[in-house]
């Protein structure tokens, strides 16, 4: 479920999430549209992953990603949310986010407190940073997927 589909390349528009207050926790997550989520392999495991991400034609950054259950659809549909490990000057709703999911960190968990949740995410981020520095993972950062030809229309939906 988790590793079989990796690396997984995906591109789509960033939409409004369901206001779980990720940004207030200091870990904003860029949500993909339902259409993009539907295009994912249906048997891909929920949980936390790491990989590379790029907004529009911008730089490629490390990211952590969660595939979870979407409370909007009574938890019968998945949601895919990317936290890019970079400080952006502005929000980028409506922009095209390109990602490659490289590896799996852990399954979804419930936490007893907000502090426990935040420290788990901080650990996920540290794990992602370490993993992505490995040569085999660094090479995906340079993948042609992130270097779009000039003028190409990137929204393939």
| Residues assigned a catalytic role | 81
Query: Contacts with ligand ADP: how many residues (CB under 6 A)?
Result: 18
- Contact pattern from residue 32 through residue 71 relative to ligand ADP, giving x for each residue in contact according to CB under 6 A and a dash for the rest: ----------------------------------------
Q: Which helix (H) or strand (E) holds 125?
A: helix 114-132
Q: Is 83 in the site for ligand ADP (CB under 6 A)?
A: yes
Whether residue 145 contacts residue 100, with contact meaning beta carbons closer than 8 Å, is answered with yes
H-helix or E-strand spanning residue 114: helix 114-132
67 Cβ contact partners less than 8 Å away, ≥ 6 residues apart: 40, 44, 45, 46, 47, 49, 78, 79, 80
CB contact at 8 A, 157 and 35: yes
| Torsion, Cα of 127, 96, 144, 67 (10° steps) | 40
Of 64-93, binders to Mg ion (CB under 5 A) are 81
| Residue 31 in the binding site for Mg ion (CB under 5 A) | yes
The least CB distance from residue 90 to ligand ADP, in Å, is: 8
Indicate whether 80 belongs to the interface with ligand ADP (CB under 6 A).
no
Q: Which entry of Mg ion, ligand ADP, none binds 14, CB below 5 to 8 A by partner kind?
A: ligand ADP
Site for ligand ADP in 7-36 (CB under 6 A): 14, 16-19, 22-23, 28-31
Q: Binding Mg ion by CB under 5 A: which of 12, 17, 51, 103?
A: 17
What six digits make up the tokens of 63?
């990211």
Applying CB under 6 A, which residues contact ligand ADP?
Answer: 14, 16-19, 22-23, 28-31, 83-84, 86, 88, 91-93
């Amino acid at each position: 479920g988790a590793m079989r589909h990796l690396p997984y390349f995906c591109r789509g528009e960033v939409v409004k999430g369901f206001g779980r207050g990720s940004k207030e926790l200091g870990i904003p997550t860029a949500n993909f549209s339902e259409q993009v989520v539907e295009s994912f392999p249906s048997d891909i495991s929920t949980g936390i992953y790491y990989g590379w991400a790029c907004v529009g034609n911008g730089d490629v950054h490390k990211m952590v990603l969660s595939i979870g259950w979407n409370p909007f659809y009574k938890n019968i549909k998945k949601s895919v949310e990317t936290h890019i490990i970079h400080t952006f000057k502005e929000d980028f709703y409506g922009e095209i986010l390109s990602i490659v999911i490289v590896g799996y960190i852990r399954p979804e968990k419930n936490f007893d407190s907000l502090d426990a949740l935040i420290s788990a995410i901080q650990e996920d981020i540290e794990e992602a940073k370490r993993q992505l520095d490995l040569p085999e993972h660094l090479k995906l950062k340079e993948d042609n997927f992130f270097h779009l030809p000039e003028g190409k229309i990137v929204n393939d939906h």
